[in-house]
Chain A
């Protein structure tokens, strides 16, 4: 039955070469932690990815209650924390998740660095990787404003003020990012859109590139 369904779909879409390409490629033993415990360092990237998925899921549920305007963002956050079933745990997981991702991505990068993985032919993947890192930090920065408490407001004020030092376009950039001359209602909706729409779209695109390159180039062998 299963084979027949697969064949039926395959006749129309030809997915099985795709599937074979994604799932059936050989993975060398030296990256397998059950063969050699020290191979767990090869898992850091994968764990980061899994945590990102967890972050997407918790974020989607938070978005069911969160309201991005200067009156309700604070109140809806409070509501999530005190009245939504498991809301506090949800928020906690999203909050801790960001820290764990930063830690895991740093560890992942350290492996790439100390093993000299970025050497030819993987230079481009390092560049994609650094972009991923900046995107992750962007998530952290924009997410920090969303609860709209004192810490959120004033930390964002400090962070956004750095853009005014960019030569020539600085003041314009400051205005674009904060949506006015001060951190306010427009900043909040902007940061919300960046946090839940712009950055995820870019993250997914760059993760796609990252994984495509890993598939093409294979995982680095031992020294």
Chain B
């Protein structure tokens, strides 16, 4: 019997398989399925490239990648309560201390878990920590997605209320519905109702009106980010 055959016999008796090729090939099949999933996704769903970065866009509400939502939201919510509790002086406790303790705890898990048993149900403390961790991540991720959606969704309404509503009217949002406004210089202008502006003007025309106003409307000097938010919003008013 050659060395190789000898080994094969020994492995068989013990109920084990050699890593190569028996095990690795099977594992590769699982792995290739994962890469295939990746490939199929990449054919149908593509990342979106936004506008080029403009540091002056104060109104922009950034979203992190989905797996960082919980970080951002935890600090947003935590920071809010921190300031209510007048602890702003000790910001570093929340912003550095808490995450440092979290990472340290993760590193120390094998030393926290002193149970002789390996089954999770026989390790109540570890089960509890797992539950806590999952609820923590789940809650702040969901809350973060929700918070981001409301923030960005409200943006055009806020801009409309502060910059446009003194002259214009939109059904449901209010504003000036008299149809005529006397400017500080004594002229009369006739701002139209914008409730259906999307079916009258194209997005490009709306944008141009905001950037270079015609027909008596004042130059509002809206920041580019505000215009970017307003154009799709107004175009949808059909």
Residues of A whose CB lies within 8 Å of any CB of B are: 22-29, 31-34, 40, 43, 46-47, 49-51, 54, 70, 74, 77-78, 81, 88-93, 95-100, 102, 104, 113-120, 122-123, 126-127, 130, 134, 137, 140-141, 144, 147-155, 157-159, 162, 165-167, 170, 182-184, 223
B43 to chain A: closest CB distance in Å? 6
Asked if B180 is an interface residue, CB under 8 A from chain A, the answer is no
A42 to chain B: closest CB distance in Å? 9
Tally of chain B residues near chain A (CB < 8 A)? 67
Q: How far is the CA of A152 from the CA of B126 in the complex (A)?
A: 37
A150 and B113 contact, Cβ closer than 8 Å, known pairs A54-B35, A96-B38: no
B46, B72, B110: the one within 8 Å of A119 (CB)? B110
Using A51-B38, A119-B118, A153-B53 as known contacts, list a sample of 17 further A-B pairs with CB atoms less than 8 Å apart, ordered by residue number in A. A22-B20, A24-B18, A28-B16, A34-B26, A51-B31, A54-B35, A74-B49, A74-B53, A78-B49, A88-B46, A92-B43, A93-B38, A100-B34, A116-B117, A118-B109, A170-B92, A223-B118
A147 and B17 contact, Cβ closer than 8 Å, known pairs A99-B67, A118-B110: no
Pairwise interchain contact A183-B65, C-beta atoms closer than 8 A: no
Interface of A, helix, strand, loop or mixed by DSSP: helix
Pairwise interchain contact A92-B72, C-beta atoms closer than 8 A: no
Q: How far is the CA of A100 from the CA of B67 in the complex (A)?
A: 11
Q: How far is the CA of A36 from the CA of B169 in the complex (A)?
A: 67
Pairwise interchain contact B110-A29, C-beta atoms closer than 8 A: no
A155 and B62 contact, Cβ closer than 8 Å, known pairs A92-B45, A150-B53: yes
Subset of 14 A-B contacts with CB under 8 Å: A23-B24, A24-B20, A26-B19, A74-B49, A81-B46, A90-B42, A96-B42, A113-B126, A116-B117, A149-B52, A150-B53, A151-B50, A151-B62, A166-B96
List, in ascending order, chain B residues with CB within 8 A of A140's CB.
65, 67-68
A23, A74, A113, A182: the one within 8 Å of B109 (CB)? A113
List, in ascending order, chain A residues with CB within 8 A of B42's CB.
89-90, 92-93, 95-96
